[in-house]
Amino acid sequence: MENNKHFDVVVVGTGNAALSAAVTASEKNRKVLMLEKGPEHKRGGNSYFTDGAIRFAYNDLDGIRSIVEDLSDEDNVEMPEYSVQDFHDDLMKVTQGKSNPKLADHLVSKSHETILWMKEQGVKFIMNENQFYETDGKKTFWGGLLSNKIKWNFTKFVIDRNGEVVKRFGPQDEPEKMDNLISELLNK
Ligand SMILES: Cc1cc2nc3c(=O)[nH]c(=O)nc-3n(C[C@H](O)[C@H](O)[C@H](O)COP(=O)(O)OP(=O)(O)OC[C@H]3O[C@@H](n4cnc5c(N)ncnc54)[C@H](O)[C@@H]3O)c2cc1C
């Protein structure tokens, strides 16, 4: 086999899990090959479509500040504490205790450091704009969720007659914003 075709690690897929594995292997100076089943313009599986909301244990607001850099006191944000135990309890509640205990422990105990690692890779996190209520100018976020500004963080799609995605829009974009594009496609 030619030298330039030698790889230490082969990662199958190009979604978030695959990219995380590939970056981790690269960090250890391994030469990585990524294989994707889908065509180039459809690569990334579900990660292409994700809204990017992410749950992790952060303890107090300082734990959030370590992730969301531009969170200032003027933002007047309140976020209930969310410990590893809280996360674990929620996970077991929604899965009716059926989560694999070892995997559940791993997920929750490593959740904060995982998000920090993603931040180090250049993912920018923001407070989840869909998940707060406001009283007396104070924004209270609930549910322990952040969002990331990764480039595939779009949730509305305009598709053409062939079912191909023509353009993606953000979760807060009003449908009117799509009017012109839809008219254009209808006239084709
Ligand atoms: C609309 C939407 C919104 C979502 N919002 C959220 C959210 O807010 N928060 C959240 O936590 N989760 C959300 N999810 C779920 C989240 O997107 C998925 O759990 C996550 O992206 C899965 O990542 P993954 O890398 O495991 O798989 P995927 O991203 O699906 O990647 C799998 C990859 O493997 C490739 N592949 C499959 N078989 C083969 C093969 N045989 N050979 C080569 N390649 C192959 C696929 O083409 C794909 O690229 C959302 C999902 C959708 C669809």
- The predicted model scores a pTM of 0.74
The Cβ of residue 164 has, within 10 Å, a number of other Cβ atoms equal to: 10
Residue 145 has pLDDT above 50, yes or no: yes
For the CA of 52, the nearest atom of ligand 1: 8
For the CA of 18, the nearest atom of ligand 1: 25
Q: Cα(47) to centroid of ligand 1, in Å?
A: 4
Q: Cα(139) to centroid of ligand 1, in Å?
A: 31
Residue 151 has pLDDT above 90, yes or no: no
Each residue of 67-126: pLDDT tens digit? 887 777 666 777 788 899 999 999 999 999 999 999 999 999 999 999 999 999 988 888
Q: Cα(18) to centroid of ligand 1, in Å?
A: 10
Residues contacting residue 92 through CB under 8 Å, at least 6 positions apart:
99, 104
- Report the pLDDT value the prediction gives residue 153, as an integer from 0 to 100: 43
The residues spanned by each domain of the chain are 1-49, 51-153, 156-186
- Report the pLDDT value the prediction gives residue 168, as an integer from 0 to 100: 76
Residues contacting residue 38 through CB under 8 Å, at least 6 positions apart:
44, 45
Each residue of 34-59: pLDDT tens digit? 999 999 888 888 888 887 788 889 88
- Report the pLDDT value the prediction gives residue 79, as an integer from 0 to 100: 78
176 versus 96: the higher-pLDDT residue is 96
